[in-house]
């Protein structure tokens, strides 16, 4: 064939239409993306996480140990129906809303990043195998999930900020409203586990709801704020929910972390100072006759002594929260009154607990130095207090 004829034939071939809005993986592989969100078919088949947004690296492989069936199920999250604009619907029969592109990016952030910061492999399994699916049929859980992802995004930005975005505030508000509505009604069996997952979201959002931008604005130095000590009051409400949903019931997906629950609620000594450091014994006025009934610092001192012995970098969330699992209500009242002993115990707790989870460190970043400054200013003559204030 004449070369000029051949060239003419090639020029006449129709050019394949490229995808303008496809994922980056398909663009790198020079494939036409079908633009199915949040996971296109090409990425499913190839075994990589799809990346329409920028929170998933290019060509990031799905975990190598997963079987083909597990890989299919990983991407097979129910999406009730999609509109032409690729919005994803969430609904439970009475409440509906759609996830726009930014919400989808937040959901992906939660799925691929936040989940792995919530707990160990069992907790990750519970979310990946169960709770992510429930998000699409339980609007309260989806709103809570998106709010947590928005907090995570804000905290891990190049320049972290204390100011919540409009989107974060919206999802947090909707989550609170719908969660409260669920608790005001008879609890259906299929909602028990999602409600327990939502209780964890409440804790994270409450911890991170800090309006201060510096230690000078944080409690106890700053002006009173409704979010002050809110996280510490959650324990009572969460125990009430525990009795309503019983995450240890035979059919609960949370049974696999029963050992963690047992550790969290492990009883403390009923009397005396065994296991409490000499410094805390002196600070809290403990002796061999001390009990929870006659000393409001008793349980906090025992729990904190155990926490302070955990090596640096080895503090777990269970280690940290166990301190407050048997908390005396009188202790909370003393904190509200800015009692110096109660403040110092909380201060010492922050020094260890902030290692365990990012949402605790959000609050500790400002409240820890604020407590130290408050004690140094208003209790400078108390030598016992001054000797135990941590150096930051």
Range with lowest mean pLDDT among 42-56, 152-166, 190-204, 222-236:
42-56
Q: Would you give the end-to-end CA distance of the chain in angstroms?
A: 81
- 212, pLDDT greater than 50: yes
Residues 6+ apart with CB under 8 A from 32: 16, 17, 18, 19, 22, 26
- Check residue 200 and give left, alpha or beta (phi > 0: left; psi -120 to 50: alpha): alpha
Enclosing H/E stretch for 166: helix 166-183
* Domains annotated on the chain, with CATH: 19-76 (4.10.240), 77-256 (no CATH), 270-388 (no CATH)
Helix (H) or strand (E) holding 88: strand 88-91
Q: What is the pLDDT of residue 146?
A: 98
From the list 168, 202, 203, 238, the residue with the least C-alpha distance to 356 is 203
Asked whether the predicted pLDDT for residue 44 surpasses 70, the reply is yes
Q: What average pLDDT does the chain have? A: 86
**pLDDT in the model for residue 5:** 45
CA distances to 143, 161, 167, 250 from 147, rounded to whole Å, are: 6, 15, 8, 30
The number of residues making up the chain comes to: 392
Residues 352 and 306: beta-carbon distance below 8 Å: no
This prediction has a pTM of: 0.76
| Euclidean distance between CA atoms 142 and 91, whole angstroms | 10
Q: Average of pLDDT values for 324-340?
A: 91
Residues of the chain with pLDDT > 90, as a percent, come to 59
pLDDT at residue 259 is higher than 90: no
Q: What is the pLDDT of residue 83?
A: 42
Contacts of 189 (CB under 8 A, 6+ apart): 251
Q: Tell the residue number behind the tokens 């280690």, with chain if given.
A: 319
| 236 pLDDT above the threshold of 80 | no
Per-residue pLDDT band at 367 (split at 50, 70, 90)? very high
Q: Where in 230-378 does DSSP place strands (E)?
A: none
**Residues 127-136 pLDDT 10s:** 999 999 999 9
69 has pLDDT over 50: no
Token reading at 389: 């204030």
Rounded CA-CA distance 324/339 in Å is: 17
**What pLDDT is attached to residue 29?**
75
Whether 64 shows a pLDDT value over 50: the answer reads no
Rounded Cα distance, 383 and 269, in Å: 28
Q: Residue 360 pLDDT > 90, yes or no?
A: yes
Distance (Å, rounded) from C-alpha 115 to C-alpha 134? 15
Residue 223, both tokens: 């002006």
Q: Is the pLDDT of residue 207 over 80?
A: yes
Is pLDDT above 90 for 279? Answer: yes
């Amino acid at each position: 064939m004449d070369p000029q004829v051949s060239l003419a034939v090639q020029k006449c071939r129709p050019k394949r239409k490229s995808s303008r809005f496809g994922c980056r993986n398909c663009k790198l592989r020079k494939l036409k993306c079908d633009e199915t969100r949040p996971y296109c078919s090409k990425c499913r088949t190839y075994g990589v996480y799809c990346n329409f947004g920028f929170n998933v690296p290019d060509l990031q492989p799905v975990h190598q140990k997963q079987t083909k069936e597990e890989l299919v199920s990983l991407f097979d999250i129910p999406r009730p129906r999609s509109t032409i604009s690729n919005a994803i619907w969430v609904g439970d029969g009475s409440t509906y809303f759609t996830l726009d592109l930014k919400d989808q990016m937040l959901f992906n952030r939660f799925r691929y990043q936040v989940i792995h910061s919530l707990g160990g492999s069992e907790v990750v399994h519970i979310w990946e195998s169960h709770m992510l699916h429930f998000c699409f049929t339980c609007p309260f859980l989806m709103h809570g999930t998106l709010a947590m992802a928005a907090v995570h995004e804000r905290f891990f930005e190049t320049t972290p900020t204390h100011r919540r975005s409009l989107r974060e505030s919206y999802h947090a508000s909707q989550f609170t409203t719908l969660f409260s509505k669920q608790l005001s009604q008879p609890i259906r069996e299929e909602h028990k586990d999602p409600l327990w997952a939502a209780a964890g979201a409440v804790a994270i959002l409450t911890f991170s709801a800090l309006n201060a931008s510096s230690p000078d604005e944080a409690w106890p130095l700053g002006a009173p704020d409704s979010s002050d000590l809110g996280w510490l009051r959650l324990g009572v409400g969460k125990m009430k929910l525990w009795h309503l949903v019983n995450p240890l019931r035979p059919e609960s997906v949370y049974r696999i972390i029963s050992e963690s629950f047992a550790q969290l609620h492990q009883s403390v000594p009923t009397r005396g100072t065994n296991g409490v450091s000499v410094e805390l014994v002196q600070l809290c006025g403990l002796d061999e006759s001390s009990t929870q009934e006659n000393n409001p610092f008793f349980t906090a001192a025992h729990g904190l002594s155990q926490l302070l012995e955990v090596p640096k970098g080895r503090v777990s969330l269970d280690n940290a929260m166990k301190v407050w699992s048997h908390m005396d209500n009188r202790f909370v009242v003393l904190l509200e009154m800015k009692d110096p002993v109660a403040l110092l115990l909380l201060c010492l707790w922050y020094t260890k607990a902030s290692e365990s989870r990012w949402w605790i460190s959000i609050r500790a970043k400002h409240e820890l130095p604020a407590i130290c400054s408050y004690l140094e200013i208003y209790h400078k003559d108390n030598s016992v207090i001054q000797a135990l204030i941590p150096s930051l």
